[in-house]
Amino acid sequence: YRLGDETNYLSSERPVVTMRLNDIEVSDYRWHRLTLFQAWENVKLQLDDTVLFKILNQNSFVFGNLKTNSDMFIGGVPKDTYLLGAMSSPLKRHTISFAGGVKNLLYRLYPQGVTAPQIIESVGMRQSDDDYCKITNIASKNDYFCRNGGICYSTNDGPKCDCSFTDFRGQRCEQVRFDSHLSFNGRELIGYDVSNNSAGIIRFRSENITLSFKTTHSRALLYIGGDRLNYIHITLDDGAVVATSKFDGTEKRIIRIFNNYPSGRYNDDRWHTVTVFRTLTLVGNFIFRFLNILSFPKISINC
């Protein structure tokens, strides 16, 4: 956040302040209570029972100018907001919008009594808070709307099911999904056209690449994406998985992973799943992390 006007004595510009709560996992499908309170130089950020305080050391602390402030948004910023220079962090305009549930929303202004601004408009919001995914109990047995581990979510038209992370499909994830098993003999390839997403590396601050493979050959190209200035490569080199990354303005980075079981190599004709997770920070640094190697059939490769 950035508070006050240009009269701060520490800098000719209003400083940008960041408060982070890193020790609480919020993507656990549970309700969490978030409170952000600001009164002059005092700022409080509270998530559930964890509280973080900040005292600003500057001359002014006003939340902008009520005559010139834009609207206050929750969940995301409209794409037609072009005043990037006036935003504390212009990259926030390209941040992925919030996906989840929000309830008991309170937004109030002090100190002239307690006032609550009216909502001007909403985009894509539900018209009611009815929980269509409520679990029913039939003959002492819980009955879920979505089958086979599908995730239920409520819409204006009733319950819907997200079957993306299951092996099933259909309106209620009730139909078995046929596995797409591809074989490569060393001359085949699969390509995806990303020309319509040329700003992806800027628009998305994180990227997840996951694929499963099995092969008996020690050298193979598993994945390649990007151009000569910005790219991610995943290869097999002498039976080891190697991830290579380079982004404009950074040095090339290489991460190599060996298999500890059963032979120390990944060309053992067994199924392996490799995941590369990329995170972009505001200063342009990238972090690579390999997740666990699992057994899950997806793509067969013979090079």
Please indicate whether residue 103 or residue 149 has the higher confidence score (pLDDT). 149
Which tokens hold the place of 267? 């060309």
Calculate mean pLDDT across residues 93-106: 76
Residue with tokens 């305009």: 93
Domains, the chain, ordered by start = 136-176 (2.10.25.10), 195-290 (2.60.120.200)
pLDDT, tens only, 244-278: 887 766 777 777 765 555 456 888 888 888 877 76
Residue 110 pLDDT > 90, yes or no?
no
- The mean of the pLDDT values for the chain is 73
pLDDT, tens only, 51-98: 999 888 877 776 666 566 667 788 887 766 656 556 656 666 667 788
Band of pLDDT at residue 285, cut at 50, 70 and 90: very low
Distance of CA 141 to the CA centre of its chain: 35
Please indicate whether residue 29 or residue 113 has the higher confidence score (pLDDT). 29
pTM, 2 dp: 0.45
Which residues, other chains included, contact 77 with Cβ-Cβ below 8 Å and sequence gap of 6+?
A: 92, 93, 95
pLDDT, tens only, 34-57: 988 888 788 899 999 899 998 888
Residue 293 pLDDT > 50, yes or no?
no
